[in-house]
Amino acid sequence: MTKSALQIARASYVPKIPTVFKGNIQIKEGAATASVDDQEEIKKLFPHIYGLPILTFVEAEGQAGLDTPVNVGVILSGGQAPGGHNVIAGIYDGIKRLHPESRLYGFILGPAGLINHEYKELTGDIIDEYRNTGGFDIIGSGRTKLETKEQFDKGLEILKKLNIKALVIIGGDDSNTNACVLAEYYQSINAGVQVIGCPKTIDGDLKNEQIEISFGFDTACKVYSELIGNIERDCNSSRKYWHFIKVMGRSASHIALECALQTHPNICIISEEIEAKKWSLDDIVEHIAGIIVDREEQGLGFGTIIIPEGLIEFIPAIKDLIEELNDFFAHSSDEFNLVRRSQQREYIISKLSPKNAKVYAGLPEKVARQLALDRDPHGNVQVSMIQTEELLSKMIGRKLEEWAKEGKYKGKFSPVHHFFGYEGRSAAPSNYDADYCYSLGYAASMLIAGGKTGYMASIQNTTAPADKWVAGGIPITMMMNMERRSGKMKPVIKKTLVDLEGVPFNYFKSQRENWAIETDYVYPGPIQYFGPSEVCDQPTKTLQLEQKGTL
């Protein structure tokens, strides 16, 4: 593998870890837990792992270790997130410390590797090639869902063959939901296989009181913020363009909010606020156009706008439409596929309720088609495929033309469009993510040593120096509720949205009127890996505000 100078230098970086990992570990159990909602339904579905206590690792006397080696399997599931390789390195180092003959097996291209028995042993030489690097290319990732008894049994065959006693699934909310279902099944049949999860998603919506942050969020936001800062610098130099910047975040606006806190754009739309205010698409257009006019009156005919990719689903009227479309395609996709392409839009309109049919009929042809045709493996709309930034700029352009005829706007509106997604998913992890991910992997190995299953590795207090971080495990059932998926109610980990009463949003809210007019751009620059801690090791603005209340 050919390496860059930075990659060679990063290979020698030793992640900072909690003090508790440096000695022998004892597991301290807290009180029994309950699911975040729908307790009776979740308890019935997970009778063998429901109600487990929160676990905290504490220092103990003696030396860490196991009498016999333990073989562990690992799966990278879903989209990439910076730091995944360090999670695997943490697992490897942890089980090797427990017993030098322990072995780690990686399943190729996600859960499909478990089902299809495609794997490779991850030896020390391989692990060392990938320490502190971005991407998931050590074993690849995939989006196959683990949800049927046949899949579970097929996976168990290879786990037994390799004498694997524990499986670590590194993924987001859907992947960890699958981990929970798998843990329950293997426990119910006494399979002798533990299942542990690790919280991954750059979207930042896999978080709660115990999971402070999902890994990869820190790095991805720093990458996007560098790019946004570069655009702001260019924007402030040429002074003639309006940049519409869409960032990842299908189900929540955490990335948009964090990037706004880092870069101070003129406008940042928060989807959760749009839903709370019950704004229509026209309301959003009028709001943005109003700021454009205000800036133009001050001779500032330029600006930057951050838009979360999931915005369209949070507009109440369109959200209702999408829910009905999801149900329709869950039950009638075969019938729909027989309809001629030229007649598909009218066919859909004929099948919708009058209210949603009117909304669908009023959408631009391109957006209507994307809502109908671009579905993910779960049958849901792929909102990243909807070019919301272009839709908004076109509608704003029309609004400004109307206002120009009325004498309300005298500028020239020149929009430029961007979508930042893949640029951040496989970036080399920041020091924060390198440290955090390694500690998550090490925590997973300690949960395995403790005989635990149905848990997610947890690292807390991460705005403090790493030696003061608190490590442990959280029962996955604690995070679950029932939601409608593909027309059926299913148990899933509840996503955490931007808290409109929380400190990060309220800080943003207190500043945004000034940012709209003052051009108070911040240029974060590229991620720094070497240098003083205040430059290299800072956590996200969101986390600082949540835990310290200030920046």
Q: Which residues are catalytic?
A: 203
Coil, helix or strand at residue 48: coil
What secondary structure does DSSP assign to 219-262, as a single string? HHHHHHHHHHHHHHHHHHHH---EEEEEES-SS--HHHHHHHHH
> Are 135 and 426 a contacting pair, CB within 8 Å?
yes
Provide the pairing of β-strand 470-475 with 480-485: unpaired
| Residue position matching structure tokens 């046949």 | 150
Nearest to 514 by CA among 231, 273, 291, 230: 291
* Secondary structure of 265-301 in HEC code, one letter for each residue: CCEECCHHHHHHHCCCHHHHHHHHHHHHHHHHHCCCC
Nearest to 437 by CA among 84, 70, 33, 67: 84
Whole-Å CA distances, 288 to 170, 240, 318:
39, 17, 19
Helices 344-351/354-361 angle, 10° precision: 150
| Residue position matching structure tokens 């869902």 | 145
Residue 137 contacts by C-beta under 8 Å, 6 or more apart in sequence? 130
Which element (helix H / strand E) includes 119? strand 119-121
Q: How far, in whole angstroms, is CA 123 from its chain's centroid?
A: 29
DSSP 24: E
Nearest to 19 by CA among 375, 404, 322, 465: 465
| Residue position matching structure tokens 């925590």 | 443
Q: Distance between CA atoms of 192 and 215, rounded to whole angstroms?
A: 29
> Are 421 and 309 a contacting pair, CB within 8 Å?
yes
Q: Distance between CA atoms of 217 and 433, rounded to whole angstroms?
A: 8
What secondary structure does DSSP assign to 163-175, as a single string? TEEEEEEEE-HHH
b/e map 25-48, b = 16+ CB within 10 Å: bebeeeeebebbebeeebeebbee
